[in-house]
Amino acid sequence: MAVRRDSAVGEQGSGGGKKTAKAAGKAPVSAAKKAPAKTTAAVKKATVAPRKATAAVKKAAPAVKKAAPAKTVAKKPPAKSNESQTALVRRARRINRELAEVYPYAHPELDFENPFQLVVATVLSAQTTDLRVNQTTPALFAKYPTPEDLAAANPEEVEEILRPTGFFRAKTKSVIGLSKALVEQFGGEVPGRLEDLVKLPGVGRKTAFVVLGNAFGRPGITVDTHFQRLVRRWQWTDETDPDKIEAAIGALFPKSEWTDLSHHVIWHGRRICHARKPACGACPITPLCPAYGEGETDPEKARKLLKYEKGGFPGQRLNPPQAYLDAGGKPAPPLGAG
């Protein structure tokens, strides 16, 4: 019985073996079908991963490309220490001579007929253009032609006239205050000394030198924003304080040239050597400029950046000198025209 049971068990096992074999025969096929799928998926994942990695590299690559130009595009001028003081003086004076040939008609770009009008116009030129001042002062001087008239003016009426220049309340206070000071301290006359001018409300060294140089013929250096930018760009000085810039540049030139030098530099800054996009390709002093290449170097593109008479546009004065008109300059339009 035991044997039979064993054989029965064996038969059952054998029969079960047949079924199992059949099942087993099917299972490997199914497994074989499924296995490649998993393998393929794994391969796909492995393939995708490099793509993602490649994408990451591509994303990272532009960052590297963008970072590189920051170091190479801006052309750093040679260190100032490479130029001796003698060489600097020679280069600076040659630049001034070159600019004198380019702007032989350079002049103060504020309209004025006397020292009083010039000092008032210069105070008003803060934080605005000379053109805007020139368009505003005709109405002011028509109503208040003398220091006595402006000293006694109604502030609200003056503010309304000066509104187009910006900061009109502060400027009204300054021009009325300096007019009163002229009447009370200087008999209604503009003083011709630096130490007296800087005592007037709203008058600093820059304004004082504009008045001294252009109304009294006394040499002075006008350190405005254009002047500061260019003398640093040309490496005449690395000072940032206006008084120190004035002293440093004054040491490079004879005193007799200070006023005309100021005109030449300021005119060049307004017309060609702009703050954001210098027209390097149209600049007459490129061989002398250590900052050449900071702006547009293509001649045709550079010419499109020129301003005022160099670009065929009106200047800043409504009543410019005849020499300026003879050179092709055009007078500016009055306020509200066009």
Give per-residue pLDDT as tens, 173-206: 999 999 999 999 999 999 999 999 999 999 999 9
Structure confidence at residue 337 as a pLDDT band (50, 70, 90): confident
Retrieve residue 7's tokens. Answer: 């054989």
Q: Above 70 in pLDDT, residue 257?
A: yes
User: What integer is the mean pLDDT of 113-139?
Assistant: 97
Catalytic annotation present for 224: yes
With a CB cutoff of 8 Å and minimum separation 6, the contacts of 125 are 110, 133
From the candidates 111, 130, 171, 224, give the one annotated as an active-site residue: 224
Q: Are 279 and 120 in contact (CB under 8 A)?
A: no
CA distance 245 to 230: 11
Instruction: Estimate the share of the chain in helix, then strand, then coil, as percent rounded to the nearest 5.
Output: 65, 0, 35
Structure confidence at residue 266 as a pLDDT band (50, 70, 90): very high
Digit-coded pLDDT (tens) for 61-70:
444 344 444 4
Catalytic annotation present for 206: yes
Structure confidence at residue 295 as a pLDDT band (50, 70, 90): very high
Calculate helix-pair angle for 130-143, 115-124, nearest 10 degrees. 130
Q: Above 60 in pLDDT, residue 19?
A: no
Structure confidence at residue 81 as a pLDDT band (50, 70, 90): low
Q: Tell me the C-alpha to C-alpha distance, in Å, between residue 153 and each of 115, 143, 158, 184.
A: 19, 9, 7, 15
CA distance 113 to 163: 22
Q: Are 107 and 246 in contact (CB under 8 A)?
A: no
From the candidates 111, 130, 171, 206, give the one annotated as an active-site residue: 206
User: What integer is the mean pLDDT of 291-301?
Assistant: 97
With a pLDDT cut of 70, the percent of the chain lying above it is 76
Give, as one character, the DSSP assignment of residue 331: P
Query: Which range, of 73-82, 136-145, 278-287, averages the lowest pLDDT?
Result: 73-82
Q: Above 80 in pLDDT, residue 14?
A: no
User: What integer is the mean pLDDT of 304-325?
Assistant: 93
With a CB cutoff of 8 Å and minimum separation 6, the contacts of 215 are 112, 114, 115, 118, 119, 190
User: Which one, of 253, 199, 225, lies nearest residue 88 by Cα?
Assistant: 253
**pLDDT the model gives residue 227:** 98
